[in-house]
Chain A
């Protein structure tokens, strides 16, 4: 549910802080905390845990460490993503499509599964330590600067790499898509006709064109990464902002959750501010050009790739387990996850249904007004806020109504998208032109509005549905209740993580199912999305 860069509101850092304050107060009000305490709470002076720690002291070290891990992860994700994209684009031969799909697949993997698998590989397979899980304090006389620096670096790099993986996947996809769109534009032949070298074209001309849109993507991915950070920190036992939220959620501590939400918005605001500074230095004041979308005729290629690659990935994912001599029969093992999958599909469908209903009502209401109003402003801010954090925080209070929280969290993105499209259609003048040539209103609407809106909403629903499946798998790993029999894929992942050192298979299979399903729906979304008007 990464919002479209075109909908980015101005003054985003400030909006996020205000939104965070409002959300925190809403949580406090919900738990009947007297309104008198809200001001002190927002000032950071109110105790937020049982031992009387104030918000400021609780977040003093935690927030800084969290932001630093996020920045490091994003740096690794962006550079690695670009390096991979540029390499495969240079090779060509259909490899970019495959790698883009693999990137998307990676971004659809539940981050909790990535984190625990990484722990399984690093500790269980390699026998290496993880500093945050088992801090080591050797005697001073036996410690050297190299050992101390190595331990400190490893403490930071382990979570950074883990968090970077899903972000890198998404960035690989976005970068390849961006470069390929330019490859097929009129831009490239002009440069080639001037006799420029291929690499010079890529680095001097294409990259600066792709970069602003990647920057928008990085900004929204950073807000998503805040949610991922909660899970990575929980898995790696890092005492940061994320683990604070996780503990507050598990204990049902309203003040702790409110504090985490508020802090998340401050972190989000800081992140957006950093991106704004980076944009100022690398793109300039204008903010870049409009994003170039993939031409329509490439969608048939995507469709084929989706079908073939999804099946291929499914087979590839299962092959290692059958080949490793496991005693269990993998088809029956997969069948055992059918019921949890159906459960998750049902919950996601419920969330999508609610989000769709809200989107249709509010999106149309906002879109039909010519000027932006407070509602569309609020929805835009919501869409550009750390929505995964909202979901994780609020779903903790509504364990049996995850669909409701999902629907409420996802809806603002749809509202903004639909409202914007309404305005674009209105501004395009197709309707007026149709009416002026004597077409009936219904006919004009059926011809110019309905196909466009239908595909737009369907694409958004499919994309959202895929994301909801991933998010649902994340929330269960934060819940302290562990039912004996897993009723959802998230619970299956969560139940398997304790044994990941010896056997990562029970954790990976449900995670792969989630990722493949999410990839399937996201690719479908790509297929049905409305393309740009023909040149």
Chain B
């Protein structure tokens, strides 16, 4: 009887007591958080692919874990990261018929007086098996031309650039050819443009070489080779980018970051088809040479100052990790294994539902937040729970939830930097939209503020210009004009007059055009419909057509069979815009869909691309923007604006950031001197002459 009673009454009472105790412990566990944040992530756990972050949240976390050589600072300017400094120089190579000629040319240059050499920027000139290699300290100077003129007396050979394209990977065929061809010694450079294309620089008896090359590839009919001579040159100019790595750069395990790691990172990334930011800039790399442990020399195949941008934000990983973890096209390797980084944080726990980071040894001093936990797959309800229990400090809300959350107490909203933008590309060769006035009228009739508010619930930034907002070379534009009267006037200037029904017409033609969008994208369909509605107010009859993505690109944009199209572009930290607006890209597979072909714009684009001094980029970028935007080749709409909600108590004291400015997780965790922490300056006491100062204890 006693046992029965003890069980019947003891178990529930004991369980109640245990429950009470455990709840108190669970509460206590959460009250001792200090320098910690807990963030709730929507959707699946972050894949943490450092090179292709799946989401902006992924990108922010990767930025804590990994360091690039160069990064963009909070002020939008270039900042050294793993690289302590970097500088451009260039190498010019000439080939001669005999080694003697090369030696004589080198000797001749050495005899030139030092003042002249300094003017040219010539650092060294050496002969090497029939070639003269000259190193210049500056890019863009006139030194190489002057030196080429000096060495012309020694009859340098003319070199040719030959491009080979195959239906199969070209590398094995080229290696076989180079090993067995009679004229293989004439190959001076080989650069693989992707898997199936190759560009080689040949000096010597070029016609014979070309014949042998052509015969070699044409004998393999299945390859369907396309061989063409690209250029004829007397000297090969190759930009060189020298990096000096930080001495104190360390991986999380304490081993130093070396130049070999950078080289391995580049090889790893380029071997995969990942859409890495600024991949084009990385493709131009000819060779990467480690000079000691902390010096790196990157040789480029063509002159492009924007090639530096390839290294901006590219996370560097250890070569040993790459060796042990072969890459796969989908990037699963990063989900299954977390590579060590050189960032300010390191991963301490990772599973399907949570990711915990802790400040790395190197970053501990500089971090305000020492530990960050990210819980993934959180539902809106779990987020509310997190805030109710004081456990969650940060979350990424859905668009629809923002209006209600804004009113919530103790919450601050911050906006992440934009990842991409939406714009309307006009086909400037379309019969209806060929007039710049007509395109300008449509721009004036577009109420972008209304679009952002209605379609994105205010979560978007109106964007103007060509470049990513916030960068040092991106102009700050005034808010775009929305003026229907001015738009109608512009349309009339273009010859489109409105009839009694308000529709714009000119003899025999209506102001009617097609606005293309992609099928299956509901947001873009709504945007297209909203734009059509807005433009109807000035008399435009717009037909919205949604086409599948492949047809959109291949059948409509690439063939320029469209009037206007809504496209989304990811931002890239580069000032080279040739791919989108250069006249050479205005046909075929080129990305200049608008068909803008202006010689002046082409020159500006080329000049900007070849600018090696970042300080001079803003001036040239502005010139290009002004010239290009005046042509109205596109209508920039808005960028994305992912917002994060933060508990106000988790924010740094005195933080001045507003809800729209770009905010990053890195800036949040770093311990920056806040305005509140500034030393207070004693204000001079003001009093009229002869007035006695009030003793502190009395009057205040």
Closest to A154 in B: B22
* Contact present for A76 and B15 (CB under 8 Å): yes
B4 proximal to A (CB < 8 A): yes
Q: Which residues of A contact B381 (CB under 8 A)?
A: 497-498
Residue A80 CB within 8 A of the other chain: yes
**Contact across chains for A157 and B26 when beta carbons are under 8 A apart:** no
Cα–Cα, bound, A154→B21 (Å): 9
The answer to whether A200 and B26 touch across the interface, beta carbons within 8 angstroms, is no
Q: Is the CB of A200 within 8 A of B1?
A: yes
CB pair B36 A139 closer than 8 Å: yes
- Across the interface, which residues of A come within 8 angstroms of B21, CB to CB? 150, 153
Chain B's closest residue to A156 (CB) is: B22
Q: Which residue of B lies closest to A500 (CB)?
A: B381
Out of A80, A130, A157, A239, which one reaches B385, CB within 8 Å?
Answer: A130
B20-64 Cβ-contact flags toward A at 8 Å (1 or 0) = 011111111110110010100000000000000000000000000
Q: Given A83-B9, A133-B385, A157-B15, decide whether A150 and B354 contact each other with a Cβ distance below 8 A.
A: no
The answer, yes or no, to whether A142 is at the interface (CB within 8 Å) is yes
Query: A79: which B residues are within 8 A, CB to CB?
Result: 7-12
Partner of B375, one of A83, A128, A135: A135
CB<8 Å pairs between A and B, sample of 8: A79-B10, A128-B23, A128-B389, A131-B26, A150-B29, A151-B29, A153-B19, A154-B19
A139 surroundings in chain B (CB, below 8 A) = 36, 358, 371
| Chain B: minimal CB distance from A35 (Å) | 33
CB distance from B669 to the nearest CB of A (A): 15
Partner of B382, one of A134, A138, A143: A134
| In the complex, A270 has a CB within 8 A of chain B | no
Inter-chain contact A501/B382, CB cutoff 8 Å:
no
Instruction: Give the shortest distance, in Å, between B330 (CB) and chain A (any CB).
Output: 13
A130-B385, A137-B349 are contacts. A161–B19 as well, Cβ < 8 Å?
yes
Q: Is the CB of B356 within 8 A of A137?
A: yes
How long is the Cα–Cα vector from A127 to B36 in the complex, in angstroms? 20
Query: How distant is the Cα of A273 from the Cα of B21 in the complex, in angstroms?
Result: 33
| A129 proximal to B (CB < 8 A) | yes
The reply to whether the CB of A489 lies closer than 8 angstroms to some CB of chain B is no
Across the interface, do A123 and B389 meet the contact criterion of CB distance under 8 Å?
yes
The prevalent SS among residues of B at the interface is: helix
Question: Quick check: A135 and B354 within 8 Å, CB to CB?
Answer: yes
Q: By the criterion CB–CB under 8 Å, are B27 and A129 in contact?
A: yes
> Once the chains are docked, how many angstroms separate the CA of A130 from the CA of B24?
12
Give the interface size class of chain B.
Answer: 35 or more
A454 at the interface (CB under 8 A from B): no
In whole angstroms, what is the CA distance A154 to B27 when docked?
10
Question: Are B1 and A204 in contact, CB atoms less than 8 angstroms apart?
Answer: yes
- The answer to whether A501 and B11 have CB atoms under 8 Å apart is no
Task: Determine the residue in chain A with the shortest Cβ distance to B4.
Answer: A203
The 9 closest A-B pairs by CB, nearest first: A150-B25, A153-B22, A79-B11, A154-B22, A80-B12, A203-B1, A147-B29, A150-B22, A129-B389
* A246: min CB distance to chain B, Å: 13
Return chain A residues, CB-CB under 8 Å to B382: 133-134, 237
In the bound complex, do residue A150 and residue B26 qualify as a contact, i.e. CB atoms below 8 Å apart?
yes
* Chain B residue at minimum C-beta to C-beta distance from A152: B22
Is there contact, CB below 8 Å, between A76 and B22? no
Complex CA gap A80/B16 in Å reads 10
- In addition to A137-B373, A501-B388, 6 A-B residue pairs with Cβ atoms within 8 Å of each other are A79-B11, A134-B389, A150-B23, A151-B26, A152-B22, A154-B23
List the B side residues contacting A133 at CB < 8 Å: 382, 385
Contact: A153 with B18, CB < 8 Å?
Answer: yes
A366 contacts the other chain (CB 8 A): no
- Given A154-B23, A501-B385, verify A136-B30 contact (CB < 8 Å): yes
Residue from B9, B386, B388 whose CB has the most chain A CB atoms within 10 Å:
B388
* A199 / chain B contacts, CB cutoff of 8 Å: 1
Q: Which residues of B contact A149 (CB under 8 A)?
A: 22, 25
Contact A147 B388 (CB under 8 A): no
Q: How far is the CA of A133 from the CA of B30 in the complex (A)?
A: 14
Asked if A203 contacts B18 (CB within 8 A), the reply is: no
Could you give, for residues 194-227 of chain A, a 1 whenever the CB lies within 8 Å of some chain B CB and a 0 otherwise? 0000011001100100000000000000000000
A128 to B19, CA, bound (A): 12
Q: Say whether A147 contacts B28, CB under 8 Å.
A: yes
User: In whole angstroms, how far apart are the Cα atoms of A130 and B382 in the complex?
Assistant: 10
Q: Does residue A86 face the partner (Cβ distance < 8 Å to B)? A: yes
